[in-house]
Amino acid sequence: MGRFTSVFLSCLSFLLFVVLLPHVSSRPAAMPARRSIVGETCNQIARGDPNVDFTFCSQSLRSAAGSDGADLHGLAIISLKLAVANATSAATRAKALLKGNGLSRYYKSCLDACREVYADAASDLRDATGMIRSGRLVDARVYISAAVDAPVVCEDGFQEGGLASPLAEEDGDLMQLAVIALALAVRLG
């Protein structure tokens, strides 16, 4: 009877371990679960779109105030604010570059086109932010999609003229930020 009891208790212990382990390990931890949403979300976005780098996504979102406790809606707003700031900064840089001496007419036209599409992108992204806040997700996605095209338009002008773009870094960053915002808007519904 002692041996049977020992085997029975061992089996019972193992069975309880197997049954209860999934419940214990899946129990949400308050802060870590909230913090992991940035990493988990960026991982999904980066895996789904070759234009997004996981490290860029997670560092960008984590750099913003409020991202630690944000849900998907909050991350969408944060990503849009980051994209607006980037587009505005890029437009300002393009405008400053236009003041340079000895620039060809074609080079200036490329810079001016970039300045214009960045300003339009910033406006579209601001509008999309309001649309997400008011629940107009389909409209927001349309506006964000328009902003995704801005860096492509800017880079195409320089490439068509066989010129190196002085705004390549800004274009890459805006592309990623806009794609991140779009992916988050899609995940919202």
- What total number of domains does the chain contain? 1
Mean pLDDT of the chain: 84
Please tell me the predicted confidence (pLDDT) of residue 17. 32
Burial class (CB in 10 A: 0-12, 13-18, 19+), 148: buried
Burial class (CB in 10 A: 0-12, 13-18, 19+), 105: exposed
Please tell me the predicted confidence (pLDDT) of residue 84. 98
Q: Which residues constitute the domain of residue 74?
A: 28-188
Predicted confidence (pLDDT) at residue 30 exceeds the cutoff of 70: no
Considering only CA atoms, which of 79, 95, 58 is closest in space to residue 141?
79
Mean pLDDT of 13-39: 43
**Is 63 domain-assigned?**
yes
**Is 10 domain-assigned?**
no
- Distance (Å, rounded) from C-alpha 113 to C-alpha 72? 33
**Is 19 domain-assigned?**
no
Burial class (CB in 10 A: 0-12, 13-18, 19+), 78: buried
What secondary structure letter does DSSP report for 162?
A: T
Instruction: Report pLDDT digits (tens) over 67-126.
Output: 888 999 999 999 999 999 999 999 999 999 999 999 999 999 999 999 999 999 999 999
- Distance (Å, rounded) from C-alpha 101 to C-alpha 143? 35
Confidence of residue 189 (pLDDT cuts 50, 70, 90): confident
- For a pLDDT cut of 70, what percent of the chain falls above it? 81
- Distance (Å, rounded) from C-alpha 142 to C-alpha 105? 33
Considering only CA atoms, which of 126, 114, 119 is closest in space to residue 163?
114
Show the CA angle centred on residue 108, arms to residues 102 and 110, nearest 5°.
140
Mean pLDDT of 175-187: 96
Confidence of residue 31 (pLDDT cuts 50, 70, 90): very low
Mean pLDDT of 38-49: 93
**Is 18 domain-assigned?**
no
Instruction: Report pLDDT digits (tens) over 10-23.
Output: 332 333 232 333 33
CA distances from 57 to 12, 35, 64, 186 (A): 47, 14, 11, 16
Please tell me the predicted confidence (pLDDT) of residue 68. 85
Confidence of residue 3 (pLDDT cuts 50, 70, 90): very low
**Is 95 domain-assigned?**
yes
**Is 175 domain-assigned?**
yes
CATH code, domain carrying 154: 1.20.140.40
**Is 152 domain-assigned?**
yes
- Would you tell me how many other CB atoms lie within 10 Å of the CB of residue 93? 18
Predicted confidence (pLDDT) at residue 4 exceeds the cutoff of 80: no
